[in-house]
A and B are shown apart, each in its own frame.
Chain A
Amino acid sequence: MSLVKEFTKGLVKENPVFVLLLGMCPTLAVTNNAVNGLGMGVATLCVLFGSNIVISLIRNVVPKKVRIPCYIIVIASFVTIVDLLMQAYAPRSLYEALGIFIPLIVVNCIVLGRAEAFASKNGVVASMCDALGMGLGFTLALVVLGGSREFLTSGSLFQIKLIEGWSNDFMLMGQAPGAFILLGVFLGIINWHAIRKAKKAGQSYTPPGLDCSTCNLCDLGED
């Protein structure tokens, strides 16, 4: 696979949120507006980029039996660094809105998932491209979801009101139920489109991400 393909696959074809369905916790929790979605996405992108590079560098040094604890240490370190930097330099309101979900990037499935499924098997440059693609795909998905929810809540986008007569917020969309409803709608549209495309080509449809190329959890028990 070429480097370009490693990068672009995360954006649409294997989008972490809409296709692989990884990292649902921040996806649902912080996307009540586009700015929060962007902030969360960029924070995750930084962690993913750093951890993928380091894990790819140490992949031949670390004994296989302790690789998961080692990866977690690497990921947790990057998350703490991002957390400290955000406290120091990000706008206070953004840091407070994202709150507990910044430290929780440690347990975001995308980060450990990419470490285990990609960075531990590929070179540094390829891992970098993979991290950038996956991180940008995650950011894109969060901004789309956050932006749609913000627009349906109050008719604004990036905190600028587009429909000025909209005075009473539609709180359902701003709260957790709205996140579930809208994510469901998006997933439905994406799956419907994929199934239709497969049918037209005369093939049966297998959702990507459900084959062994993107997941190697079966290996966890082995030496």
Chain B
Amino acid sequence: MSKQTNIPVLVISLALIAGIAAALLGWVSDVTKVPIAAALQENNNVALQQVLPAFDNQPANETKQVGNVTFYVARKNGVVVGFAGKTISNKGYSGEVTVLAGVQLDGTITTVIVTKQTETPGLGTVVCGRTRKKTISKRIKGIKETGLPPNPILDQFRGMKATSGQAPWAVKKDGGDLDAKTGATITSRAVGGAVFTIAESFAQNRTELLKENN
């Protein structure tokens, strides 16, 4: 090997490799652009399908921002069938908790799910999670479960309305009606507060939301 370093050769070979790599990446990025967008859309729809009645529009594209709450409009054959409200609570134990709740046209809360959280594993995450436990005996017997897995904390909100005031939306420790998960009162409180925000925001803007979307 020559003792003298040939700088131009080094520069050219490195640039050449970087150029080829860049071209290749550009091509791959181009090819995967559509599937990635579809996967993201699908992911958004999965969450919305869990909280909304059957719809045939794209609620992710029909949103309305009211204060801190984003409302998604679900339609079937062009008629509004329900709303989903999404809000972020900063009252979680470690960071933000994003809550998505289905709201019927009269303001009744249906299903509640937590779409994003960074709570304590094993405590806060139990409040937020809806995962189905697959067991070996169910697998052997061939039992298949469908539908949304239950969660005792999140299912408490089903059927509640904002009209009854804020008091019932607090956890029992604060004088409210909600059960909190032992060891995760703060997370339970954050979720309750977020669902109340959604319900209250819907109640206050109900006429406007219904009128604008019909």
**Interface positions of A (Cβ within 8 A of B):** 58, 61-66, 69-70, 73-74, 76-77, 80-81, 84-85, 87-89, 92, 156, 159-162, 164, 169, 171, 174-175, 223
Query: Which residues of B (121-136) have their CB < 8 Å from a CB of A?
Result: 121-122, 133-136
Interfacial chain B residues near A73, Cβ < 8 Å: 14, 17-18, 21
Tell whether, in the assembled complex, residue A88 and residue B32 are in contact, meaning their CB atoms are under 8 Å apart: yes
Interfacial chain A residues near B10, Cβ < 8 Å: 63, 65-66
A60 to B190, CA, bound (A): 61
The size bracket of the interface on B is 20 to 34
Of the listed stretches B35-43, B57-65, B169-177, B199-207, name the one at the interface; the rest are far from the partner chain. Answer: B35-43
In the complex, B148 has a CB within 8 A of chain A: no
In the complex, B167 has a CB within 8 A of chain A: no
Tell me whether A169 and B135 are in contact in the complex, defined as CB-CB below 8 angstroms, given that A63-B13, A70-B14 are known contacts: no
CB contacts between A and B, total, < 8 Å: 72
In the complex, B211 has a CB within 8 A of chain A: no
Tell me whether A64 and B36 are in contact in the complex, defined as CB-CB below 8 angstroms, given that A80-B25, A92-B43 are known contacts: no
Main SS class of interface, B:
helix
Interfacial chain A residues near B21, Cβ < 8 Å: 73-74, 76-77
Tell me whether A164 and B28 are in contact in the complex, defined as CB-CB below 8 angstroms, given that A92-B39, A174-B122 are known contacts: no
Tell whether, in the assembled complex, residue B14 and residue A66 are in contact, meaning their CB atoms are under 8 Å apart: yes
The closest CB in chain A to the CB of B11 belongs to A66
The closest CB in chain B to the CB of A164 belongs to B135
Tell whether, in the assembled complex, residue A84 and residue B135 are in contact, meaning their CB atoms are under 8 Å apart: no
